[in-house]
Copies of this chain bind each other. A is one copy, B any other.
Amino acid sequence: MEIIFFGTSAGLPTKERHTQSIALKLEPYATDIWLFDVGEATQHQILHHSIKLGKVSHIFITHMHGDHVYGLPGVLTSRSFQGGEGKPLTIIGPKGIKAYIEASLTFTHVHLNYPLHIIEIDQQLDLTIDQFEVQARMLNHGVPCFGYRIQAPSTPGTLDVAKLKAIGMEPGPQYQQVKKYDTFEFEGVTYDAHQFKAPDKLGPIVAVFGDTKPCDNECILAQNADVIVHEATYIEGDKQLANDYHHSHIDDVLELITRNNVKHALLTHLSNRYTKEDVKAIDQQLKASHTASFQFVHDFDAYQF
């Protein structure tokens, strides 16, 4: 899978960073694209990428702050003209997202040419979408704010070809039966397929966090994740101040990923108080004193996993 960052700023856009938006390419598990948050001008950023709006099947909103949703009306409208016609779109987000979208589209005389389905989360959500397991859990940001944990579908384990040959089964279409099912028949004998293949391989786990100060639900979302996307609004200075503003301090994030066995963290939502040089210098300092795997991201950075 691949994560692409269309916006990595906090609160306001800057000359270098747009406000929040992330695309998740589901390949090789599916061909759809999922978006997480849609800051203003997300559609403009997408114009400069190979991703097409028509392939976006789901949009997940973490919370109802402008830097996370002001691009939504534009994305919804333009999707009608960019391959989205007739293709359903589902939006998942906190309460208020439905009324916000309906008001934006109604007052601007928009009639979408595809079915739009909006799911508002109350406290939490567990959902299976095309075999992807999605968990939404409430974070702590002063307004209702969610993090999303996504586990890709499991894939069948590798076949033990030597063992299959030992019972006389040569490579061919029958191997698919062994791979897909719990049992298979060969020359009148029923076999336990699990004896002839490695255990199913669990799909990778990604967690995308909305803005938040540290909270217990963060651990549920981050546990053993292959990659997390987390805010890094305060990458230095007073931890208490960061938390008072319902944000995480960089120390909180590093603790989260270390405690929860996260393989890699992509740090976004950077405050405009930091220059490029600041971020680079702080990154070097942090990497000298921490073993956790992480990186600060910029607009159009991509991460495959």
Seen from chain A, the residues whose Cβ lies within 8 Å of a Cβ on chain B are: 11-15, 18, 40-41, 43-44, 47-48, 64-66, 69-71, 73-74, 77-78, 81, 96, 99-100, 103-104, 107-110, 143
Contacts and interface: CB of A to CB of B under 8 A. Distances in A.
Nearest to A13: B44
Nearest to A108: B66
B108 A104 contact: no
A169 to B, nearest CB: 55
Contact of A44 (B41, B69, B78): B41
A248 B14 CA distance: 36
A50 to B, nearest CB: 13
B103 A13 contact: no
Total copies of the chain: 2
Q: Give the interface SS of chain A, mostly helix, strand, loop or mixed.
A: loop
Contacts of A74: 13, 40, 66, 70
Contacts of A81: 11-12
Given A13-B44, A41-B44, A99 B108 contact: no
Contact of A100 (B12, B18, B65, B104): B104
Contacts of A71: 40
A214 B127 CA distance: 53
A104 B14 CA distance: 22
A64 B107 contact: yes
B12 A69 contact: no
20 contacts: A11-B81, A12-B78, A13-B47, A15-B47, A40-B43, A40-B71, A44-B44, A64-B107, A64-B108, A64-B109, A65-B108, A65-B109, A66-B77, A66-B108, A70-B73, A70-B77, A70-B104, A96-B107, A100-B103, A100-B104
Contact of A108 (B11, B69, B77, B108): B69
Contacts of A108: 64-66, 69-70, 100
A64 B110 CA distance: 10
A41 B143 CA distance: 25
Contacts of A104: 70, 100, 103-104
Residue from A11, A40, A103, A110 having most chain B Cβ neighbours under 10 A: A40
A100 B107 contact: yes
Nearest to A103: B103
Nearest to A80: B12
Contact of A14 (B12, B47, B70, B109): B47
Nearest to A95: B107
A58 to B, nearest CB: 21
B40 A44 contact: yes
Contacts of A99: 103, 107
Nearest to A82: B12
Nearest to A102: B103
A146 to B, nearest CB: 15
